[in-house]
A and B are shown apart, each in its own frame.
Chain A
Amino acid sequence: GAGVSQTPSNKVTEKGKYVELRCDPISGHTALYWYRQSLGQGPEFLIYFQGTGAADDSGLPNDRFFAVRPEGSVSTLKIQRTERGDSAVYLCASSLTADSPLHFGNGTRLTVT
């Protein structure tokens, strides 16, 4: 079946602009995660959804970052007033249950100029 799909694969935006990154998880997966990965680093946790609710948003760096998952499937990560330091690969992952291994998408490479 289809894996985790992330769109767009690449996004270039100007400093100060608003961006939305989309994640389509594997059908039936109740848990959904957003991570951010900088070059040469491991993924850094941002937020975790169980169903429609954010079970853990402690990794969001500040209030410019927000994520939603209104119907318990597709999720959108929203970044307001982007800064050059937000440039990274944003990875989405889903899992069947909270204790199952994660299935990752290929990420969205965000570049803020």
Chain B
Amino acid sequence: SQQGEEDPQALSIQEGENATMNCSYKTSINNLQWYRQNSGRGLVHLILIRSNEREKHSGRLRVTLDTSKKSSSLLITASRAADTASYFCATGPETSGSRLTFGEGTQLTVNP
């Protein structure tokens, strides 16, 4: 079963706009990670936020985590056509090692 569920499933925006993707999960976590996948390629790690953190930044990326609501959001600011990809959240469980459980992803399209 999927631990993370991304919302929306698909998002289409214009270059320069901001893109926000959300992730909800069900069980307690140690950390939450966001990955990006271009078509036909493997996943690329973007950012990791630990359960005791509320917000993290990396370049144009901003991630928030609300453990009380079991949700996270990924914000990409000033989007570019090259940001077009699928974005997945993945949760690291609190107790059972480092197995990551991925959601079904958000397909982001940035139109030039």
A residues apposed to B, CB below 8 Å: 4, 31, 33, 35, 40-45, 48, 50, 55-56, 58-59, 91, 93, 95, 98-99, 101-107
Q: Contacts A55-B97, A101-B33, A101-B48 given; indicate if A42 touches B42 (C-beta within 8 A).
A: no
Whole-angstrom distance between the alpha carbons of A107 and B31 in the complex? 25
Whole-angstrom distance between the alpha carbons of A107 and B44 in the complex? 13
Cβ of B68 under 8 Å from chain A: no
Instruction: Report chain A residues within 8 Å CB of B4.
Output: 42
Do B100 and A45 have beta carbons less than 8 Å apart? yes
Cβ of B96 under 8 Å from chain A: yes
One of A4, A42, A95 near B104 (C-beta < 8 A): A42
Whole-angstrom distance between the alpha carbons of A44 and B101 in the complex? 7
Q: Contacts A42-B88, A42-B104, A43-B88 given; indicate if A104 touches B43 (C-beta within 8 A).
A: yes
Chain A nearest Cβ from B50, distance in angstroms: 10
Whole-angstrom distance between the alpha carbons of A68 and B84 in the complex? 36
Query: Interface readout for B83-112 with A: 1 if CB under 8 Å, 0 if not?
Result: 000001000100011111111110000000
Q: How many residues on chain B are close to A (CB under 8 Å)?
A: 24
Do A56 and B99 have beta carbons less than 8 Å apart? yes
Number of A-B contacts (CB under 8 A): 62
One of A33, A42, A93 near B2 (C-beta < 8 A): A42
Do A48 and B97 have beta carbons less than 8 Å apart? yes
Chain B nearest Cβ from A25, distance in angstroms: 12
Instruction: Report chain A residues within 8 Å CB of B44.
Output: 104
Instruction: Report chain B residues within 8 Å CB of A4.
Output: 42
Cβ of B69 under 8 Å from chain A: no
Whole-angstrom distance between the alpha carbons of A26 and B26 in the complex? 32
Do B104 and A103 have beta carbons less than 8 Å apart? no
Do B96 and A56 have beta carbons less than 8 Å apart? yes
Chain A nearest Cβ from B64, distance in angstroms: 18
Chain A nearest Cβ from B93, distance in angstroms: 10
Instruction: Report chain A residues within 8 Å CB of B41.
Output: 106-107
Do B43 and A91 have beta carbons less than 8 Å apart? yes
**Closest CB pairs A-B (n = 8):** A104-B42, A42-B102, A101-B45, A98-B98, A104-B43, A42-B104, A43-B102, A106-B42
